[in-house]
């Protein structure tokens, strides 16, 4: 596999929710949550990529948009 690339497609809602979660994860002690340091590099790469493609993450209405995205992604009971 080596240097093969894999593409993952996300909806805007999925990207926003995942980016927020990854940001929270990175602010913790990763070694307590992720027991294999080899996983840290892909976590940082995904988070960095999402930060680049979602500049609106730091918009003033972030909390409202994040909650709306979460609601749309949650399965209906």
The answer to whether 40 and 34 are in contact (CB under 8 A) is yes
In a domain, 51, yes or no: yes
Number of separate domains in the chain: 1
In a domain, 56, yes or no: yes
Mean confidence (pLDDT) of the chain: 86
Instruction: Indicate the pTM of the whole model.
Output: 0.80
Count of residues for the chain? 77
Cα–Cα nearest to 12, from 75, 74, 69: 69
11 pLDDT band (50/70/90 cuts)?
Answer: very high
In a domain, 47, yes or no: yes
């Amino acid at each position: 596999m080596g240097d093969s690339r894999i593409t993952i497609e996300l909806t805007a809602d999925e990207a926003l929710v995942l980016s927020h979660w990854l940001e929270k994860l990175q602010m913790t002690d990763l070694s307590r949550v992720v027991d294999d340091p080899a996983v840290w590099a892909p976590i940082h790469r995904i988070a960095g990529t999402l930060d680049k493609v979602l500049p609106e993450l730091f918009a003033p209405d972030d909390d409202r948009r994040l909650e709306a995205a979460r609601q749309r992604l949650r399965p209906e009971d």
